[in-house]
């Protein structure tokens, strides 16, 4: 459906009258109407500046012969929502945002769309909406935050979360705590490391929906404004050539996204979102497919929290397209896929180059021969679990220890801060999955607390919930089936032995089948009261994490 269905013909006299109430002229109404989906707000640091992006897009759309019209999208800052009930609304917002964009773009038909996201769930939600609407579309994010530089080291939001654990054991002074508060988030942009927001913005490049540089050009760099202007002009070309999201999102382009994901060491949340995007496009994609790509793709980049570098460093080193150039040279990409440049990925990569071999390693000298994410299976996760392998210390790649069982993130954090977890333990946090939470809370607080206390080299954490891209250590999430759906994680008892073997993709509860059968016979799920009607609806509709936590139809 195009804007002509809303504005052309004698029956549309009232419609044109309403459009003129906006101040539109007859000439502006004759032009293609270009919707600009702007997720700007004043509570998310990654979104506070997005009006500057929207203004640049509007300018270039107008110059290219279109009429730009802005409408909003909500967003949740995972950092601000972390550690309290607000986190139940983060993943749940993904479907809401996708639905709300569909509502706006169907009720007021546009000829093309420009999407301006930046943080966590907003990016995949908008991709899902773009696929659903399937009109010419392009993505231009707000760009990553710069790190702060203090005493010769880089600080990011990870340092602020790890400071909780450091403060709890008395290793930070009041002055040092204040310094972390004041310096770790120095300005606008999506938090500076390879966390979920930046991971997904990098995915827009790899999958072909964002221009080269969309994932890495810093928010405060004037190149970001120039990129926004290019995006506004380019969407008019996409409209002229009738290139649509479903021409771009294909099995092959998702393969490219996964290959980039593994090489970059992205957030484990990309697994959830790429599965959901594939589902929206009607493309079959499974955890087995993801693991197959991981096994074949070398890990070439280690950014915060896995290493000291940030997105700004990756940008100067050649960006996402520099990484893709490496992968192309190894025959690991499908380069005939279409992109929003109106050319193929292979065409785009002709001008790509790696400018720093330390930040983007050579194929022959990777951090590891396989990817930054791994999928684990076993009797504890028959339908799979996900770990950001590239951020796990070598001594924790294989671990066996007694279970310390908690029925919520809050109970786990309280025990950690109370000194009730010891070296060798395997923390189990359950009933935090898509249904059990509900909302599959992201748990950076306990993982960062472990790191701050120096326990990330000695303690593992497994959950049917999920982790922030800023999490590091042996943090294994997305355990499926979840406890609320009758998964084995709901049967674990205190001090049961749990075996983790990340190289072998294994996650096992060392309890006999007979004992598990007996436990299951007397098992009843924890029934957590949910007062929110919205969360109750979400709990009824949402499917397992191994599906991408999409809505069951």
| DSSP code, position 3 | T
Can you tell me whether residue 81 is helix, strand or coil?
A: helix
> Residue 74 and residue 391: Cα distance in Å, rounded?
31
Q: With helix as H, strand as E and coil as C, how does 16-46 read?
A: HHHHHCCCCCHHHHHCCEEEEEECCCCCCCC
Can you tell me whether residue 114 is helix, strand or coil?
A: strand
Residue 137: active-site member: no
No. of H helices and E strands in the chain? 22, 14
H/E element, 105 = helix 90-107
Reading the block at residue 445, the tokens are 């607080």
Q: How far is CA 451 from CA 106, 166, 408, 448, 463, in A?
A: 47, 8, 19, 5, 17
**DSSP per-residue codes, 368-427:** BSS-S-EEEEETTEEEEEEE-GGGS-GGGSEEEEEEEEESSHHHHHHHHHTT---TT-EE
Strand-pairing partners, residue 13, are: none
- The separation between the first and the last C-alpha atoms of the chain, rounded to the nearest angstrom, is 24
Nearest to 478 by CA among 494, 499, 462: 462
Catalytic entry in 60, 90, 253, 468 = 468
> Residue 430 and residue 492: Cα distance in Å, rounded?
10
H/E element, 124 = helix 122-133
> Residue 54 and residue 71: Cα distance in Å, rounded?
10
> Residue 210 and residue 224: Cα distance in Å, rounded?
12
> Residue 101 and residue 124: Cα distance in Å, rounded?
12
| Residues near 395 by beta carbon (within 8 Å), at least 6 away in sequence | 457
| Cβ(3)–Cβ(32) below 8 Å | yes
| DSSP code, position 155 | E
H/E element, 93 = helix 90-107
| Cβ(384)–Cβ(376) below 8 Å | yes
Q: How many CB atoms lie within 10 A of CB 358?
A: 8
Q: How many CB atoms lie within 10 A of CB 240?
A: 14
Angle, to 10 degrees, between the axis of helix 174-183 and the axis of helix 157-168?
160
**Residue 192, CB-side half-sphere exposure with 13 Å CA sphere:** 26
> Residue 332 and residue 469: Cα distance in Å, rounded?
24
Which are the catalytic amino acids?
Answer: 468
């Amino acid at each position: 459906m195009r804007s002509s269905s809303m504005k052309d013909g004698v029956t549309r006299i009232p419609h044109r009258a309403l459009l003129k109430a906006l101040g539109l002229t007859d000439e502006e109404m004759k032009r293609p109407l270009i919707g600009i989906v702007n997720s700007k707000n004043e509570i998310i640091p990654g979104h506070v500046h997005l009006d500057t992006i929207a203004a640049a897009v509007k300018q270039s759309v107008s110059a290219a012969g279109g009429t730009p019209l802005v409408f909003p999208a909500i967003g949740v800052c995972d950092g601000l929502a972390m550690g309290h009930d607000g986190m139940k609304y983060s993943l749940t917002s993904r479907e809401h945002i996708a639905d709300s964009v569909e509502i706006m773009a169907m009720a007021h038909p546009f000829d093309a769309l420009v999407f301006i996201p930046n943080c966590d769930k907003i990016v995949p939600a908008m991709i899902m909406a773009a696929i659903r609407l399937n009109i010419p579309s392009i993505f231009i994010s707000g760009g990553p935050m710069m790190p702060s530089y203090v005493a010769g080291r880089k600080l990011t939001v990870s340092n602020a979360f790890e400071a909780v654990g450091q403060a709890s054991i008395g290793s930070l002074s009041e002055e040092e705590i204040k310094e972390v508060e004041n310096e770790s988030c120095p300005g606008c942009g999506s938090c500076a490391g390879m966390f979920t927001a930046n991971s997904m913005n990098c995915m827009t490049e790899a999958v072909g929906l964002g221009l080269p540089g969309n994932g890495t050009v810093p928010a405060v760099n004037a190149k970001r404004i120039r990129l926004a202007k290019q995006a506004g002009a380019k969407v008019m070309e996409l409209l002229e050539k009738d290139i649509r999201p479903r021409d771009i999102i294909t099995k092959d382009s998702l393969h490219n996204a996964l290959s980039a994901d593994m090489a970059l060491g992205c957030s484990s949340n990309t697994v959830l979102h790429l599965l959901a995007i594939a589902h929206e496009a009607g493309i079959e994609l499974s955890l087995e497919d993801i693991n197959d790509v991981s096994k074949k793709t070398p890990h070439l980049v280690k950014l915060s929290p896995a290493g000291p570098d940030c997105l700004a460093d990756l940008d100067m080193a050649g960006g996402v397209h520099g990484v893709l150039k490496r992968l192309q040279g190894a025959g690991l990409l499908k380069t005939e896929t279409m992109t929003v440049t109106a050319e193929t990925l292979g065409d785009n990569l002709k001008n790509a180059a790696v400018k720093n071999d330390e930040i983007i390693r050579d194929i022959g000298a990777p951090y590891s021969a396989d990817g930054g994410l791994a999928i684990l299976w076993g009797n504890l996760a028959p339908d799979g679990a996900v770990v950001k392998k590239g951020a796990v210390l070598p001594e924790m790649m294989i671990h066996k220890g007694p279970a310390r069982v908690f029925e919520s993130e809050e109970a786990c954090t309280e025990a950690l801060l109370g000194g009730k977890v010891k070296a060798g333990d395997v923390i189990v946090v359950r009933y935090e999955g898509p249904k059990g939470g509900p909302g599959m809370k992201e748990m950076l607080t306990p993982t960062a607390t472990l790191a701050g206390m120096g326990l990330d080299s000695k303690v593992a954490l497994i959950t049917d919930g999920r982790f922030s891209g800023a999490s590091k250590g042996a943090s294994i999430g997305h355990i499926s089936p979840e406890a609320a759906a009758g998964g084995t994680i709901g049967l674990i008892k205190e001090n049961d032995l749990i075996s983790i073997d990340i190289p072998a993709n294994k996650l096992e509860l060392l309890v006999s089948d007979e004992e598990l059968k007996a436990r299951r016979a007397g098992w009843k799920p924890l029934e957590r009261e949910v007062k929110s009607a919205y969360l109750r609806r979400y709990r009824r509709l949402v499917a397992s994490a191994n599906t991408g936590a999409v809505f069951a139809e």
